Chain A
Amino acid sequence: PPAKRMKPRKVLLMGKSGAGKSSMRTIVFSNYVARDVRRLGATIDVEHSNIRFLGNLFLNLWDCGGQDGFMDNYLTPAAAGGQRESVFANVAVLIFVFDIESREFVADVANFAAVVGALADCSGTPGTRASRPSPQPKASDKSPASPATTAADTTSSSTVGKEAPKVFVLVHKMDLVPPAQRERLFAERAQHIRARAGPFAARTAFYATSIWDQSLYRAWTAIIHTLIPNADAIELLLQRLAAAIGARELILYERTTCLVVTSATRGAEQANPFGDRCERLSSILKTHKQSLARHTRSQPGSAHFRDFELRTSRFAWFVTRLTENTNLAVVLPPGEQLFNFARAGVAAARARFVELDVGGGGREVKGEG
């Protein structure tokens, strides 16, 4: 049977011109290197990109040019010649980028308030639309999904019964602030911005970011996580696999962006002092992918490794492809026997993950078709 194609999830990327929106987008999704983004020109109007993330999860990313004229146009209703309804309807996530260097912070915040207002008008607010009673359907094949929730999820463009959009605020270019001042400045800005987030205030997530370090991946991992419908089911499966092969940690990440989908950690590894290791790994692996692409003179999008093994006195590690769009990183205690055992275990589990790949990766879960 043909794959069930999920409706693309609309993601708005907004903020003043020069704030860094296109830089982020191209680094996370188009394999640019941080130092290449200096060549990007200003974004004219809206640049759409359709990004295929896991399996059949499609993101429809709207990179909205931030020059004043465009901003006014987005906010003006269609009746008055603007694009308000088309831009702000059916939004799953709004990402608003503040440039830490901007000298017009007050104007930036006012702009943000106007955008959030338009979003509330056209896509609803947490208050009005949290009325939907059912929780996110668990895609675990064990618990039969109730018809009601399935229907709610596939409802077409009508805003009724859908989840309210989520708002992410990125305070960007933090690398330009001397390290000692970063935390205080970020907290200050976040407080001012939250005060103007209207109905979204309580549930807006704030991230300090820079294209020069892994903070970029921290923010985008969180954003993507809210868009993956069956993250819980995948995590459960990872937990079981980790226990079965004696792994200390398993990390499932998307192959193109290297963003972490989910992970499972067992035993002593839960005390690992690097609490930010998922975004660190995204950043490390992505950087390395680009290096490999340079060396093999291939497109960064196609420079994938088949296999990556690392053995040290304290741990062993390998990365292997799991499904069409994901790789699995496996962290093990040292030792050859366990290593081979784990490899076999992962190979055997592959089919289960293919079934769980969002949308079934071409195959429906048995019992429902």
Chain B
Amino acid sequence: MQNRYYDGGGMEEEKPRLLLMGLRRSGRSSIANVVFNKLPPSDTLYLESTRDINKERMHSFMDFQVWDIPAGVSYLDAPDQDIDGIFSSVGALIWVIDAQDEYFTAIQRLNDTILYLCRRYHSPQHPDNPFDGMPHIEVFVHKVDGLSDDFRADVFRDIQQRILDDVADHGFDAAPIHFYSTSIYDATIFEAFSKVIQRLVPQLPALENLLNGLCSKTGVEKAYLFDVCTKIYIASDTTPGDITQYETCSDLIDVVVDISEIYGWERPDPEPGSFEEKMLAQETGNSDAEAMITMERRGAKCLYLREVNKYLALVCIMAVDDPAEKRAMVEYNMRVFARGVNQVFEVRPRLMEDAEL
């Protein structure tokens, strides 16, 4: 499995954009580097303060850009066309608040930004979707690892309340704002990013359907479709899940990627006539990586991973007691599923071609 797709090349403006905003030292660059560059969380201590807007383009199952916008950029005072330059074709605005610090200033700035956007996008003539086209505001209550469980919940509620109250006071109750509590030291940041990205995936309902179908057919308890590089999941079946399930599945990706890295190196051709050469002449390996782990404890779950394409992998938790027995059935269904996913992602270009005819 490949595990890097970073590409610093030129920006294509029409790609959906994720803006990372927040006060100085709030943790924006840390988040971007941990999620998209695999930087170990403890190494974020060495990150330097961001001076200019830092744009990175991600190539994956869909292309998008991540812009790290330093607190010093005073976009709200800029002329309108410049502001449009920042906010047009924005998929999501992620606002990072340092929950370990005094957060009133951060909330103040965020509220200014939200109100500005609400005024700009609000169209009362469309009562069913009055904020059509407005980027989703994703508030990350961040660095919660440093807080006790109780205090964490209090801080989260307090921040959420202050923001929603202010927005409601101005009559924008229905504005698209979502809250997450996050830390780069655990899975919460990946879970939050997954939810943010899922709002930008037009194929989400189709993918969820496929995953639900897979679960009901094969006794899968929980299934995720992962972007392998970032360990963001772009869809999951719709049964309620918990974060330990996500962690278990994303940890399996780590193991598979790590072992694949160690043993997937390009070897010289085997010696002619050797045992290995004869074996390799007869058959080839899996074109898509496949992994399965069964536990020793009776009744424990079994983990399964299958590469779906260059970027995506299906990972699931199953309650299979004797996988050997069900193996053929599982494999068959997983293959069908992989084909289904690839069809979902091909539909759009084909429709567009049709339209051009």
Contacts and interface: CB of A to CB of B under 8 A. Distances in A.
Contacts of B213: none
A296 B262 contact: no
Interface in A265-308: 267-269, 271-274, 277, 280-281, 284-285, 287-288, 291-292, 294-296, 298, 302-308
B280 A295 contact: no
B264 interface: yes
B285 to A, nearest CB: 2
B259 A305 contact: no
11 contacts: A272-B265, A284-B259, A292-B293, A294-B248, A304-B295, A312-B1, A312-B285, A314-B266, A315-B285, A334-B285, A335-B280
Sort chain B's interface into a size bin. Answer: 35 or more
Given A303-B295, A309-B292, A313-B286, A246 B251 contact: no
Interface string B320-345: 00000000000000000000000000
B244 A280 contact: no
State the 3 A-B residue pairs at the shortest beta-carbon distance, nearest first.
A334-B285, A291-B251, A295-B248
A311 interface: yes
Contacts, number: 150
A157 interface: no
Given A246-B279, A311-B286, A315-B285, A295 B264 contact: no
Sort chain A's interface into a size bin. Answer: 35 or more
Of residues A316, A334, A337, which shows the largest number of chain B Cβ atoms within 10 Å of its Cβ? Answer: A334
A99 B260 CA distance: 34
Interface in A314-345: 314-317, 321, 331, 333-338
Contacts of B268: 268, 271
A335 B285 contact: yes
Interface in B284-339: 284-287, 289-297, 300-301, 317
A310 interface: yes
A335 B244 contact: no
B247 interface: yes
Interface in B39-92: 40, 42-43, 46
A245 to B, nearest CB: 10
Contacts of B271: 267
Nearest to A284: B258
B174 interface: no
A213 B42 CA distance: 11
Contacts of A312: 1, 260, 264, 285-286, 289-290
B176 interface: no
A306 B300 CA distance: 10
Contacts of A292: 248, 293, 295
Given A310-B289, A310-B291, A334-B283, 7 more contacts: A248-B263, A268-B267, A305-B296, A308-B294, A312-B285, A315-B264, A336-B283
Contacts of A294: 244, 247-248
B290 A302 contact: no
B276 interface: yes
A248 B274 CA distance: 13
A304 B263 contact: no
A335 B254 CA distance: 23
A305 B268 CA distance: 33
A330 to B, nearest CB: 11
Contact of B296 (A269, A291, A295, A304): A304
| Chain B binding surface, main DSSP class | mixed
Contacts of A272: 262-263, 265
A175 interface: yes
Contacts of B300: 296, 298
A268 B248 contact: no
A142 interface: no
Contacts of A178: 46
B255 interface: yes
A337 B283 contact: yes
A272 B254 CA distance: 20
Given A312-B286, A315-B285, A273 B265 contact: yes
A183 B256 CA distance: 30
Contacts of A310: 256, 259-260, 289-291
Nearest to B251: A291
Contacts of B276: 246, 248, 267, 333
B104 interface: no
A39 interface: no
Of residues A213, A280, A296, which shows the largest number of chain B Cβ atoms within 10 Å of its Cβ? Answer: A296
Contacts of A175: 42-43
Interface string A12-43: 00000000000000000000000100000000
Contact of B251 (A277, A287, A296, A306): A287
A295 B284 contact: no
A333 B280 contact: yes
A294 B268 CA distance: 40
B248 A315 contact: no
Nearest to B317: A295
Interface string B135-153: 0000000000000000000
